[in-house]
Amino acid sequence: KMNERIYNFNPGPAVLPEDVLKEVQSELLNFHGTGMSILEISHRAPAYDEVHQQAKADIKELMGLGDDYDIIFTAGGASQTFALIPLNFAAESRPGSYALSGSFSQKAYEEAVKLGVGTVAASTKEENYVRVPRQDELNIAPGAAYLHICLNNTIYGTEYHYTPQTNGVPLFADMSSDMLSRPWDFSSYDFIYAGVQKNLGPAGVVLNIAKKELLANTPAELPTMLRYSTFQKNDSLYNTPPVFAIYIVGKVARWIKERGGLAAMGEANAKKAALLYDAIDSSDGFYRGHADKGSRSRMNVTFRLPTEELEKAFVAEAKEHSLGGVKGHRSVGGMRASIYNAMPLAGVEALAAFMNEFRKKH
Ligand code: PLP
């Protein structure tokens, strides 16, 4: 099986459609007749500019967003964005308000705390993050600069199934692990960001989509590269952007468009998730889902088995069936099957069948 690709259930760093990888491979040595690789041509050359503009246009079109939003590409991962957001938008008199629903929202909050501008709107930590906070639990700080949520909690396998009402407070969301996986009311959000390395491309770039006026009004005293207005003014080309990552994000956006856009992604992803949750729910308690039913993620399906021994056996036997990356994160334990856009239905069918078979065997 040396030459075969596996069904990749890893949560990242990147899970990409095979078609896209092949296309990248075919263009790698000579990009669009330039005689150079996309890695080698100038980021100011027309051939790159076309890639840059098309990626932005396709993403905006997929999300159904208009001219009141700008897209900027930053580096440093979603983790750096955790700090950039309070730096650019919060102040002691206007703190950021954070809904804590898992490890990443906690990390985002901690960055704001370091700057003295973080408050907690809600937390489900006491319940081991088995669900996301409910609307009626959100206690947004008066005069908050924003409410920050993490829409899909990659580690715990929970996801918001609603958009919080904020009473006029700008709504910010980390969508790293469910970006462009379903239709969503994106226009209710003021600032959306995603480390792209799950549904959208390789690690190395953060896709940010935000209200124009928000990006235009950031503190002038910030270092140039930490200030969002720098990216907006220069169309993310103040310095050399991560061109290869942006190029692949553009290809993935095109791939999504060609397959029917977010409606088609959402339908396919819901079907995939239902197969695995059915395998859990119909297992007479052999598999126990981590997430409360009302907060189940359609991207990361987390579950436990009766014993850790069985969990080890599950991972090993799955691998023999070319089902890779099903081991869960250490903070939850058990299994996690990540089923991003690029995971074909056949892969999920194979995993669901394996789950049933494994249960009967043990
Ligand atoms: N936010 C979410 C929801 C994530 O899943 C991850 C990574 O897995 C991060 C943030 C951190 O992203 P990065 O590695 O780009 O800093």
Mean pLDDT of the residues in the chain: 96
Does the pLDDT value for residue 138 go beyond 90? yes
Instruction: Determine the residue type at 214.
Output: L
Closest-CA residue, ligand 1 atom 10, reads 78
203 is in an annotated binding site: no
**Residue 321 corresponds to which tokens in the numbers above?**
């069936």
User: Do 29 and 36 form a contact (C-beta atoms < 8 A)?
Assistant: no
Does the pLDDT value for residue 1 go beyond 80? no
| Rounded mean pLDDT, 235-261 | 98
Asked whether 177 lines ligand 1 (CB < 6 A), one says: yes
Which band of pLDDT confidence, cut at 50, 70 and 90, is reported for residue 336? very high
Does the pLDDT value for residue 142 go beyond 90? no
- Please give the Cα distance from 343 to 346 (Å, whole number): 8
Asked whether 158 lines ligand 1 (CB < 6 A), one says: no
Which band of pLDDT confidence, cut at 50, 70 and 90, is reported for residue 218? very high
Place of tokens 């995603």: 194
324-335 pLDDT, tens digit per residue, is 999 999 989 999
Q: Chain centroid to CA 101: how far?
A: 15
111-129 pLDDT, tens digit per residue, is 999 999 999 999 999 999 9
**Which residue in 186, 191, 210, 179 sits closest to 70, CA to CA?**
210
Does the pLDDT value for residue 12 go beyond 90? no
User: Do 50 and 207 form a contact (C-beta atoms < 8 A)?
Assistant: no
Does the pLDDT value for residue 244 go beyond 70? yes
Distance between Cα 78 and ligand 1 center (Å)? 5
Which band of pLDDT confidence, cut at 50, 70 and 90, is reported for residue 248? very high
Number of the ligand 1 atom closest to the C-alpha atom of 102: 3
First to last CA, the chain: 27
Closest-CA residue, ligand 1 atom 9, reads 78
154 is in an annotated binding site: yes
Does the pLDDT value for residue 3 go beyond 90? no
Closest-CA residue, ligand 1 atom 12, reads 78
Asked whether 147 lines ligand 1 (CB < 6 A), one says: no
- Please give the Cα distance from 177 to 19 (Å, whole number): 21
Does the pLDDT value for residue 275 go beyond 90? yes
In this structure, are strands 152-153 and 158-159 parallel, antiparallel, or unpaired? antiparallel
Assessment of whether the complete model's pTM goes beyond 0.80:
yes
Place of tokens 């919060």: 90
Instruction: Determine the residue type at 224.
Output: T
47-99 pLDDT, tens digit per residue, is 999 999 999 999 999 999 999 999 999 999 999 999 999 999 999 999 999 99
Which band of pLDDT confidence, cut at 50, 70 and 90, is reported for residue 2? low
Closest-CA residue, ligand 1 atom 14, reads 77
pLDDT the model gives residue 48? 97
pLDDT the model gives residue 15? 87
Tell me what ipTM this predicted complex has.
Answer: 0.99
